[in-house]
Amino acid sequence: MKNVEQIASYLSQFWFFLFFLAVVVLSLMIYWRSRRQILFESWANMYDSKDTDTGRSIGDLLLFKIGYIKNVHERSTGSLGTWNIYRDVPAFRQNLDDNVTLQASAELGKYGPILSTLSMLLFHLLPMVLRPARLRGSIHKHGTRLQLLATLEFNSGSHWKGFHNSLWEVVRTQSSEETLPEAVEELAFRIYLDLTREELFKSWQSFQAYTRGLASYLSYVDLERKPDYEAAKQGYEEARQLEPQNPAISYSLGVLEYYRWNSDANKEAVTHFRSALAASQPRLRAYAHSALANALLQQYHRYNDHDPRLLEDAIYYAQKAVAIDGALDMTHRALGFACHQLSEYQAASPDPAVQTKSAENRDLAIRHYLRAAELNNKNFAALNNLANLYLEWARRDTNHARSMKNLHNAVRECERTLAINPHYHFTYDNLGNAYLEMKLYDKAAEAFRSAVRYKPDYPEGMNDLAALHLEPEFAGRDVRGGLRRHQEALALVVSGEGQSRKLCATFGKRSGIVPPAELAAALDADLHKSLMASHCTCVAVQTTAAQMGV
C-alpha cells in the first residue's frame, strides 16, 4: 500500500512531463500515419455560375470515384486471392512512393474527432514537418468549355523537406451539367493510374473498361448470374479493343471463361491464356503459364479429350511457370496437376518401365501439391487434387491394405480442403467416391448430395449420385431413380461430347452390377427416349433397350 502511495506521489509531481511525453508520442504516431494518407481538400470554384457548393461536391465525387476504383481492385486481389486460386488479376501496386499510400481518406485517418482535431492543429502549427499529401483542385468553366485541374503535393522521401507536385488536367469543350461526373471519373482513373504507377495499362480508357468488367466479374463470382458474366466479358472486350496486346486483359478473359466449366469455354480460355504468355511482368507471366497448364489438363481430364499432346504441353507450361516464379503456390499446383495426370496416363501401360515412371510422377505430384499448400495454406485446390490422386491410386491398387490407406489419405485431404472452403463441390464429390470405395454408402450419399447442393449444375456430382443408387447394399437403392439422375447429369453438360462419354463410362461400370431383368423393368420407353436425347452411350442401357425393342 505504501509503495502505491509513493508511486502516486511521484506521478503527481511529474504529471506535466508525462502528459507532454504522451502528446509527443501520439503526435509522432499521427505524423507517420499521416505521411501515408492523402488529404482531399475542397476545390477552388472558378465556375461562371459562382456556385459555392460545386467545389465541395467535386472533391467529394472525386474521393468517391477513387475509393470505388481502389475497392474493386483490392477485392479482386483480396477475396479472390483466397477463394480463386488463379488470383484473377495481378496485384496492383498501391503506393505513391516509399512513404505515401493512396488511402482516399477525407481526413487524417479514422481516428475520431479528438485525435483528428489534434492532428489538424499540429498540421497548422508545424506545416513543414507534420504534413500529409494534399490533393487540391480547381474548376474552370466558361460557356461550354470545362477544365478540371488537380494537383497533388507529397513528400518525396528523398531528402528533408523535399516535396513533389503532380498535376492532372481534364478538358471538355462541349460540356454540360450532365457531363461533369464523366469528367470527374476520367480524372479519377488518370490519378489512380499515376499514383499506383500501374504499368500494365497505357490508357485510362482501357483501365476504366477493365475495372468495369472486373466489378461485374466479382458479382458473377458471388451470384453466378448470367447478366454479370455478360457485363464482365463486355467490359474486358472493350478494354482489349483499346489495348489489344495487354496481357492482363487476356489473362482475365481466360479466367472468366475457364470458370464456366464447359469444354467450349475452356478452349476459349486456352486461347486467352496463350495471349498472356509474353507478359513483361514475371508474376503475370507465371500466372499465365500455370493457368494455361491447368486449362490444357482440364481439357484432357475433365472434358475427356485424351490427346497425349495436351499432357506434354501442360507439363512444359507448368515447368516454365515454376521456373519463372518458384515461390508462387499456383505454379506448384499446376505442375503437381500435370505430373498427376501424366502418372495416370502411364499407369495404364503394360510396360513395367513405364509403370515405374508412373510411380515417380505420382510422387512428384504429391511433392508439388504439398509445396503449393506450404506456400499458401489457403490453396484448397491443391489439397483437393491431392485427395483425388490418393483416390485414383486406391482404386487401382489390388493390395487391400494399401488401397485402404490411400482411401483414408483421400478422406483426410478432403477434410483439410473443406476446412478451408466448405462450399467446394469438387471435394464433396471426391469425398463421396472415397466413401463409396470404402462401402460407407450413407456417407457417400450425403457427400454427393452436398456436391450437387453447392453446385446444382455439376454433372459429375449428379452422375456419381446416380451410380450410387445402383449399389445393391445401399439402403436407398433405386435403379429407375439412378437412371433418371444419369439423364439429368447428361443434360447438365453444356458442350463437349467427350464429357458426356466420360459420364456414361462411369455410370456404365456401375450399371453392370444390376441384373438385366431389373434394368429392363426400370428402363421404359419414355426414360430411354430422354436418355438418348441426352446422347447416352452406356453399353448396358443400349443393350437393355435393344432387348426390350425400344
Task: Provide the residue type at 216 as one letter.
Answer: S
Closest CA to 271 of 290, 257, 285, 287: 257
Yes or no: say if 394 and 414 are a contact pair by the CB < 8 Å rule: no
Write out pLDDT tens, residues 231-246.
999 999 999 999 999 9
| pLDDT-above-90 percentage for the chain | 47
pLDDT score recorded for residue 512: 77
pTM score over 0.75: yes
Signed CA dihedral, 423, 426, 429, 434: sign only = negative
Residue 327 CB contacts under 8 Å (≥ 6 apart), including other chains: 375
Top pLDDT among 152 and 355 is at 355
Higher-pLDDT residue of 149, 386: 386
Q: Binning pLDDT at 50, 70 and 90, where does residue 420 land?
A: very high
What pLDDT is recorded for position 53? 65
How many helices and strands in the chain, by DSSP H and E?
Answer: 23, 5
Contacts of 159 (CB under 8 A, 6+ apart): none
Find out whether 115 and 59 touch, Cβ atoms under 8 Å. no
- Distance, CA of 353 to CA of 173 (rounded, Å): 75
Ranges assigned E (strand) in 100-252 = 133-142, 145-155, 163-172
Any idea of the CA torsion for 485, 490, 493, 495, to the nearest 10 degrees?
-170
pLDDT of residue 313: 96
pLDDT at 1: 57
* AA letter at 280: S
Average the pLDDT over 7-35 and give the result: 63
**Cell numbers representing residue 165 in the block:** 507536385
Q: Please tell me which residue, 224 or 100, carries the higher pLDDT value.
A: 224
**Over the range 291-312, which residues count as b (16 or more CB within 10 Å of their CB) and which as e?**
bbbbbbbbbbbbbbbeeeebbe
User: Facing residues of 95 across strands?
Assistant: 101
Supply 74's cell numbers. Answer: 483490392
Closest CA to 389 of 350, 363, 354, 356: 363
The 10s digit of each residue's pLDDT in 426-472 is 999 999 999 999 999 999 999 999 999 999 999 999 999 999 999 99
Contact 106, 63 (CB under 8 A): yes
Query: In this model, does residue 223 exceed pLDDT 50?
Result: yes
d(CA 406, CA 396): 10
Q: pLDDT tier at 78 (50, 70, 90 boundaries)?
A: low
Q: Which of 538, 488, 546, 490 is nearest to 520 (CA)?
A: 546
Residue percentage of the chain with pLDDT more than 70: 76
Angle at which helices 425-437 and 459-468 cross, to 10°? 20
Q: What is the DSSP letter of 472?
A: T
The Cα–Cα gap between 64 and 168 comes to: 18
Q: Are 113 and 105 within 8 A, CB to CB? A: no
State mean pLDDT over 384-390. Answer: 96
pLDDT band at 364 (very low <50, low <70, confident <90, very high): very high
**Length of the chain in terms of residues written:** 550
| Span 271-285, average pLDDT | 92
Pairing of strands 44-47, 163-172: unpaired
**d(C-alpha 344, C-alpha 304), whole Å:** 13
Distance from C-alpha of 349 to C-alpha of 545, rounded to nearest angstrom: 34
Cβ–Cβ under 8 Å, residues 409 and 363 = no
Which helix (H) or strand (E) element contains residue 343? helix 329-347
| Max mean pLDDT range (367-371, 494-498, 540-544) | 367-371
Residue 199 and residue 290: Cα distance in Å, rounded? Answer: 22
Q: What is the pLDDT of residue 185?
A: 93
Q: Which three cell numbers stand for residue 376?
A: 499458401
Query: Of 13-27, 164-178, 307-321, 529-543, which one has max mean pLDDT?
Result: 307-321
pLDDT of residue 531: 79
Q: Looking at residue 140, what is its pLDDT?
A: 85
Q: In 3-state terms, what secondary structure has residue 43?
A: coil
Q: What cell was used for 251?
A: 489473362
SS3 of 515, please? coil
**pLDDT digit string, tens, across residues 98-136:** 233 333 333 333 445 555 555 555 544 544 444 566 777
Instruction: Please tell me the distance from the alpha carbon of residue 154 to that of residue 163, in angstroms, as a whole number.
Output: 5
Burial group, residue 86, by CB count within 10 angstroms (0-12, 13-18, 19+):
buried
Scanning the structure block, which residue is given the C-alpha cell 503532380? 166
- What does the pLDDT read at residue 84? 42
* CA–CA dist 171, 494 (Å, integer): 49
DSSP assignment string, 253-304: HHHHHHTT-SHHHHHHHHHHHHHTTT-SSHHHHHHHHHHHHHHHHHHHHTS-
Angle at 69 between CA 324 and CA 139, to 5 degrees: 130
Kindly list the distances between the CA atom of residue 115 and the CA atoms of 108, 112, 120, 545, in Å, as whole numbers in the listed order.
Answer: 9, 6, 8, 81
Q: In the prediction, which pLDDT does 175 show?
A: 79
Q: Residue 82: is its pLDDT beyond 60?
A: no
Report how far apart the first and last C-alpha atoms of the chain are (Å, whole number): 99
Query: What's 85's DSSP letter?
Result: T
pLDDT single digits (tens) 395-417: 998 899 999 999 999 999 999 99
Residue-wise pLDDT tens digits, 280-338: 888 889 999 999 999 999 999 989 888 889 999 999 999 999 999 999 999 999 999 99
